[in-house]
């Protein structure tokens, strides 16, 4: 198999890390790889906060849902959607920038995701492990204050990077037939594919936990869609200048 595709297919979320630091210059090379990602209209609307202060790490771990590996990982990064730099650059040309457009929010968020995934792949290519921390959005106002984020900037997620101290199995993904469709959306095939995948995930959880977890993919979706997930995000984004016009 192509080694790049093999690396991509081997991704696991790593939540236990050795105390070993990254080699000098490694993080910078990963960030440069992130900068090489595609960017809509070349806006490059991503800024990355590298958090090394132990006190801030501890606060972030708590604010993100008491995730201890934020403190343990060799590196912890907060990836921010950043339209401040762009609007100020545009204003320097003499125009009056239009702020708060929904498309600006989408572009900035997509840019961050593409940037971060390049960073993740670069790190994994050097035998490091990563885990994304969506819990950063649990308390975005407090985290923005802690990191001194101005208007037109918001924290999208965090990322731990370090040498793995465990080797979890690769988690099965949805069947290819469920996500790759020909010419139009294949709605009638989804139920069958999800049922097949639920069985796979049930077996995976049973094997991973020694029979202590009885669940499947559909059941794992219930918390996300069975209630209002992070309802504070809309008001927070508006307060940060992303008014979604």
How far apart, in whole angstroms, are the C-alpha atoms of residue 193 and residue 176? 9
How far apart, in whole angstroms, are the C-alpha atoms of residue 15 and residue 104? 33
Q: Is 156 exposed, middle or buried (0-12, 13-18, 19+ CB in 10 A)?
A: buried
Q: Give the fold, CATH level 3, of 3-170+227-239.
A: NADH Oxidase (3.40.109)
Q: Are 70 and 60 in contact (CB under 8 A)?
A: yes
Can you say whether the dihedral through the CA atoms of 203, 205, 208, 210 is positive or negative? negative
For 178-216, write each residue's pLDDT tens digit.
999 999 998 988 999 999 999 999 999 998 878 888 899
All structural domains of the chain with their residue ranges: 3-170+227-239, 172-214
For 86-144, write each residue's pLDDT tens digit.
999 999 999 999 999 999 999 999 999 999 999 999 999 999 999 999 999 999 999 99
Helix (H, G, I), strand (E, B) or coil at 110: helix
In the chain, % of residues over pLDDT 70: 100
Name the residue among 129, 110, 91 with its Cα closest to residue 7. Answer: 129
For 148-167, write each residue's pLDDT tens digit.
999 999 999 999 999 999 99
């Amino acid at each position: 198999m192509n080694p790049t595709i093999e690396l991509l297919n081997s991704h696991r979320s790593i939540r236990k890390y050795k105390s070993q630091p990254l080699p000098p210059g490694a993080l910078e090379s990963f960030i440069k790889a992130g900068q090489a990602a595609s960017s809509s209209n070349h806006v490059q609307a991503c800024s990355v906060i590298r958090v090394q202060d132990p006190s801030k790490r501890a606060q972030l771990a708590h604010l993100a849902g008491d995730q201890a590996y934020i403190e343990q990982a060799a590196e912890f990064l907060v990836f921010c959607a950043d339209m401040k730099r762009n609007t100020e650059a545009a204003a320097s040309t003499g125009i009056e920038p239009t702020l708060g457009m929904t498309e600006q929010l989408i572009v900035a968020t997509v840019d961050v995701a593409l940037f971060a995934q390049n960073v993740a792949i670069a790190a994994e290519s050097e035998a490091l492990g990563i885990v994304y921390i969506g819990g950063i959005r649990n308390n975005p106002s407090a985290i923005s204050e802690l990191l001194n984020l101005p208007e037109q900037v918001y924290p999208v997620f965090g990322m731990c990077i370090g040498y793995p101290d465990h080797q979890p199995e690769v988690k099965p993904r949805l069947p290819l037939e469920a996500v790759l469709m020909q010419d139009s959306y294949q709605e009638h095939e989804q139920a069958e594919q999800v049922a097949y995948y639920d069985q796979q995930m049930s077996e995976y959880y049973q094997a991973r936990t020694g029979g202590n977890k009885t669940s499947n993919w559909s059941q794992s979706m219930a918390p996300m869609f069975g209630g209002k997930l992070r309802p504070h995000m809309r008001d927070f984004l508006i307060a940060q200048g992303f008014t979604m016009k």
